[in-house]
């Protein structure tokens, strides 16, 4: 018997029914981390490519890095929801997110109604 009865030990997440989702999210997370790590070691004097100036290439690289970091945050949030047991439920209203939407993007956090509302208020 555990000295801490209120603490539950979760089975390895890859063995749970939602293990495929965990694996998909974790795999994408690793790919993004690799891409960010490679980008941080990139040389400043590499060819700009596509006829971009150094400044334009730098801005494009920064934009790409910000995009990857944003996606990484969404994946981390989805993994947190998965471990907490709230994965698949809208973060705003709590309704279930359609399986087709989760299949398309397993990091999605909002149902379509809440997502549309957030788009009209911006």
- Residue 66: give the domain boundaries: 13-87
Supply 122's token pair: 């911006």
* 5: in domain: no
pTM above 0.85, yes or no: no
* 32: in domain: yes
Decide if 101 contacts 108 (C-beta within 8 A): yes
Going by pLDDT thresholds of 50, 70 and 90, the confidence category of residue 51 is: confident
* 78: in domain: yes
Q: What is the total count of domains within the chain? A: 2
pLDDT given for residue 14 in this prediction: 42
Residue 15 per-residue DSSP state: G
My answer on whether 28 and 81 are in the same domain is yes
Q: 66 versus 39: which is more confidently predicted?
A: 66
pLDDT given for residue 120 in this prediction: 85
pLDDT given for residue 49 in this prediction: 55
My answer on whether 30 and 49 are in the same domain is yes
* 72: in domain: yes
Calculate the CA dihedral of residues 9, 15, 20, 22 and round it to 10 degrees.
20
My answer on whether 21 and 43 are in the same domain is yes
pLDDT given for residue 99 in this prediction: 93
Going by pLDDT thresholds of 50, 70 and 90, the confidence category of residue 98 is: very high
Q: Work out the number of other CB atoms within 10 angstroms of the CB of residue 122.
A: 4
My answer on whether 95 and 78 are in the same domain is no
My answer on whether 51 and 82 are in the same domain is yes
My answer on whether 71 and 21 are in the same domain is yes
As beta bridge partners, residue 89 has 96
My answer on whether 82 and 94 are in the same domain is no
* 100: in domain: yes
Percent of the chain with pLDDT strictly greater than 90: 63
CB-based contacts of 87, cutoff 8 Å, min separation 6: 18, 21, 78, 81
Going by pLDDT thresholds of 50, 70 and 90, the confidence category of residue 11 is: very low
* 2: in domain: no
Q: What is the mean pLDDT of residues 24-33?
A: 96
Give 29-40 pLDDT, tens digit per residue. Answer: 999 999 999 876
Supply 77's token pair: 């949030």
* 1: in domain: no
Decide if 34 contacts 26 (C-beta within 8 A): no
């Amino acid at each position: 018997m555990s000295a801490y009865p209120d603490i539950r030990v979760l089975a390895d997440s890859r063995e749970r029914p939602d293990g495929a989702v965990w694996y998909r999210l974790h795999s994408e997370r690793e790919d993004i981390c690799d891409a960010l790590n490679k980008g941080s070691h990139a040389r400043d004097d590499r060819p700009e490519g596509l006829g971009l100036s150094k400044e334009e290439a730098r801005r494009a690289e920064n934009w790409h890095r910000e995009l990857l970091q944003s996606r990484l945050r969404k994946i981390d949030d989805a993994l947190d929801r998965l471990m907490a047991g709230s994965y698949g439920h809208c973060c705003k209203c709590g309704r279930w997110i359609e399986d087709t939407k989760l299949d398309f993007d397993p990091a999605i956090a909002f149902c379509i109604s809440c997502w549309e509302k957030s788009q009209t208020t911006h």
